[in-house]
Structure 1
Amino acid sequence: MEVTVLQAIGIGLVALFAYMVDFCAYAQWDRPIFTCLLVGFVLGDIPQALVLGANLELLYMGTMSIGAALPPDIYTGGILGVAFAIVTGTGIEGAITLCLPIASLALVVKQFFYTFFRGYCTHKADYYASIGNADGVAKMHILSLLMWVPMAILVGFAFYSGSATVQTILDSIPEFIMNGISVASGMIPALGFAMLAKLTVTPKTLPFLFLGFAFVSYLNVDVTGVAIFGLIIAIIAVYFTKPNQEVATVGMEEDDNEF
Structure 2
Amino acid sequence: MQISIFQAILIGLVYYLGNSTWLFGVGYYTMYRPLVNGFFVGLILGNPVLGTMIGATINLMYLGFISAGGALPGDPCLAGTLGTAIAIASGIEPEAAVALAVPIGLLGTLIWYAKMTVNALFVHKADQYAEEGNTKGIAFMDIVPPQIFLFIITFFPVFFAALYGPTAIKSAIDFLGANVLNCLIVIGGMMPALGIAMNLKAIFKGDNRVFYFLGFLLTVYLKLDIIAVGLFGVVLTFIYMKLKKGGNEVVR
Fold shared by both chains (TM-score > 0.5): yes
Decide whether aligned partners of structure 1 residues 236 and 120 sit closer, same or farther in structure 2, where only a CA change above 3 A counts: closer
In the alignment, is the contact (CA less than 8 A) between 1:56 and 1:78 conserved in 2? yes
**Which residue of structure 1 aligns with residue 3 of structure 2?**
3
Note the C-alpha offset of 1:66.
Answer: 0.1
Decide whether aligned partners of structure 1 residues 55 and 234 sit closer, same or farther in structure 2, where only a CA change above 3 A counts: same
Note the C-alpha offset of 1:45.
Answer: 0.6
Give the aligned length.
Answer: 218
Q: Distance in 2 between matches of 1:53 and 1:130?
A: 46
**Which residue of structure 1 aligns with residue 74 of structure 2?**
72
**Which residue of structure 2 aligns with residue 158 of structure 1?**
161
The runs of 5 or more residues in structure 2 that have no matched partner are 172-192, 244-248
Decide whether aligned partners of structure 1 residues 50 and 17 sit closer, same or farther in structure 2, where only a CA change above 3 A counts: same
Q: Distance in 2 between matches of 1:189 and 1:215?
A: 15
In the alignment, is the contact (CA less than 8 A) between 2:38 and 2:54 conserved in 1? yes
* Structure 2 SS opposite 1:27: helix
Note the C-alpha offset of 1:101.
Answer: 0.5
Q: Distance in 2 between matches of 1:75 and 1:215?
A: 29
Q: Distance in 2 between matches of 1:91 and 1:77?
A: 15
In the alignment, is the contact (CA less than 8 A) between 1:39 and 1:79 conserved in 2? yes
Q: Distance in 2 between matches of 1:138 and 1:47?
A: 41
Note the C-alpha offset of 1:21.
Answer: 3.3
Q: Distance in 1 between matches of 2:16 and 2:114?
A: 18
Note the C-alpha offset of 1:64.
Answer: 2.6
* Structure 2 SS opposite 1:28: helix
**Which residue of structure 2 aligns with residue 131 of structure 1?**
132
**Which residue of structure 1 aligns with residue 233 of structure 2?**
230
In the alignment, is the contact (CA less than 8 A) between 1:21 and 1:30 conserved in 2? no
Note the C-alpha offset of 1:155.
Answer: 0.4
Note the C-alpha offset of 1:24.
Answer: 2.4
Decide whether aligned partners of structure 1 residues 166 and 85 sit closer, same or farther in structure 2, where only a CA change above 3 A counts: closer
In the alignment, is the contact (CA less than 8 A) between 1:30 and 1:75 conserved in 2? yes
Note the C-alpha offset of 1:197.
Answer: 4.0
Matches within 5 A, 1:90-109: 90-109=92-111
**Which residue of structure 2 aligns with residue 81 of structure 1?**
83
Note the C-alpha offset of 1:86.
Answer: 0.6
* Structure 1 SS opposite 2:50: helix
Report percent identity of matched pairs.
28
Note the C-alpha offset of 1:102.
Answer: 0.8
Q: Distance in 2 between matches of 1:191 and 1:215?
A: 18
Which TM-score applies when normalising by structure 1?
0.70
- Report which of the two structures shows the higher radius of gyration computed on alpha carbons: 1
Cα deviation 1:44-63 (Å, max 9, x = unaligned): 01110111111122211221
Note the C-alpha offset of 1:81.
Answer: 0.4
Q: Distance in 2 between matches of 1:192 and 1:146?
A: 35
Higher relative contact order (CA 8 A, sep 6+): 2
1:40 alignment partner, one of 26, 39, 42: 42
Decide whether aligned partners of structure 1 residues 100 and 22 sit closer, same or farther in structure 2, where only a CA change above 3 A counts: farther
* Structure 2 SS opposite 1:21: coil
Q: Distance in 2 between matches of 1:76 and 1:164?
A: 18
Note the C-alpha offset of 1:89.
Answer: 1.3
Cα deviation 1:154-207 (Å, max 9, x = unaligned): 101011112465799xxxxxxxxxxxxxxxxx989866765x549xx67xxx1x
**Which residue of structure 2 aligns with residue 120 of structure 1?**
121
Which TM-score applies when normalising by structure 2?
0.72
Q: Distance in 1 between matches of 2:81 and 2:149?
A: 18
Q: Distance in 1 between matches of 2:111 and 2:50?
A: 29
Note the C-alpha offset of 1:119.
Answer: 2.0
What is the identity, as a one-letter code, of the residue corresponding to 1:131? E
**Which residue of structure 2 aligns with residue 14 of structure 1?**
14
Q: Alignment RMSD, CA only?
A: 3.5
